[in-house]
Amino acid sequence: KQEVTQIPAALSVPEGENLVLNCSFTDSAIYNLQWFRQDPGKGLTSLLLIQSSQREQTSGRLNASLDKSSGRSTLYIAASQPGDSATYLCAVLDSGGSNYKLTFGKGTLLTVNP
Amino acid sequence: KAGVTQTPRYLIKTRGQQVTLSCSPISGHRSVSWYQQTPGQGLQFLFEYFSETQRNKGNFPGRFSGRQFSNSRSEMNVSTLELGDSALYLCASSPSPTGYEQYFGPGTRLTVT
């Protein structure tokens, strides 16, 4: 059974700091990994998707890496801003069989202080 | 393209009642999934539909059911509501039969009193 863990559970940083969020998963047989952002009481916004054959993806100030063999992914946020404050979730889509579901971590609550 | 829409956005029900939530996927997307989000358990998979067929179901009691229509719109139903069913229910759609890259709606906040 796939399990996804995110560390840290919460992070508070001053504006302008670069930061790294971590995600680990127990079964390396994944199809892809997605990073999402969730604002309080809202739905999920997809930030980055990394296919299992890829090592990283970049979008603006965000960079996500994937090491499938070790079951790890990181989300790097450069020059953080107060508007980045949200919960960040990572999720994996398992490959093979008739799965079709995402398994989520519990998320990292990020607070960027002005 | 319009995103995933969910109705209603907020719902208050009493224990023992039943509820139906609706999800309209992005145009052209035939895979629709449902997730329950609670503070304690996080996001948990409920079920997934593709072309009106349920292909996968999470570990939830039989009180939770769903269906998908020919236009890919989906509904989920919870019967005999319990206090623990209070949650944010999220629907996601995917353009791929494998569920590759899922797009989420804003969710329905269900409160059971």
- Annotate B3-47 with DSSP letters as a single string: --EEE-SEEEE-TT--EEEEEEPPTT--EEEEEEEETTTEEEEEE
Distance in angstroms (rounded) separating the CA atoms of residues A3 and A71: 10
**Partners of residue A89 in chain B, C-beta under 8 Å:** 43
CB contact (8 A) between residue B109 and residue A43: no
Q: From the centroid of its chain, how far is CA A52?
A: 14
Chain A: give the shortest CA distance to residue B107, in Å. 6
Distance in angstroms (rounded) separating the CA atoms of residues B110 and B94: 24
Distance in angstroms (rounded) separating the CA atoms of residues A113 and A83: 10
Residues A74-91 have a mean pLDDT of: 97
> pLDDT at position B58, please?
92
> pLDDT at position B70, please?
95
CB contact (8 A) between residue A106 and residue B42: yes
What is the CB neighbour count within 10 angstroms for residue A9?
A: 12
Q: Is the pLDDT of residue A16 over 80?
A: yes
Token pair for A24: 């680990």
Instruction: Write the pLDDT tens digit of every residue in B66-103.
Output: 999 999 999 999 999 999 999 999 999 998 877 788 99
The confidence band for A1, taking pLDDT boundaries of 50, 70 and 90, is: confident
> pLDDT at position A84, please?
97
Average pLDDT, chain B: 94
What is the CB neighbour count within 10 angstroms for residue B59?
A: 7
Instruction: Write the pLDDT tens digit of every residue in B34-72.
Output: 999 999 899 999 999 999 999 989 999 999 999 999 999
> pLDDT at position B1, please?
72
Q: From the centroid of its chain, how far is CA A90?
A: 4
Token pair for A51: 């296919």
Residues A3-8 have a mean pLDDT of: 95
> pLDDT at position A95, please?
73
Q: B 10-69 residues with CB below 8 A of A?
A: 31, 33, 35, 42-43, 45, 48, 50, 55-56, 58
Q: Is the pLDDT of residue A96 over 70?
A: no
Starting at the edge strand found earlier in the chain, the sheet holding B5-7 runs B5-7, B19-24, B74-78, B64-68
> pLDDT at position A29, please?
87
Mutation target vs B (from A48, A100, A106; most B CBs, 10 A cutoff)? A100
Mutation target vs A (from B4, B41, B43; most A CBs, 10 A cutoff)? B43
> pLDDT at position B13, please?
98
CB contact (8 A) between residue B56 and residue A41: no
Q: Is the pLDDT of residue B29 over 90?
A: yes
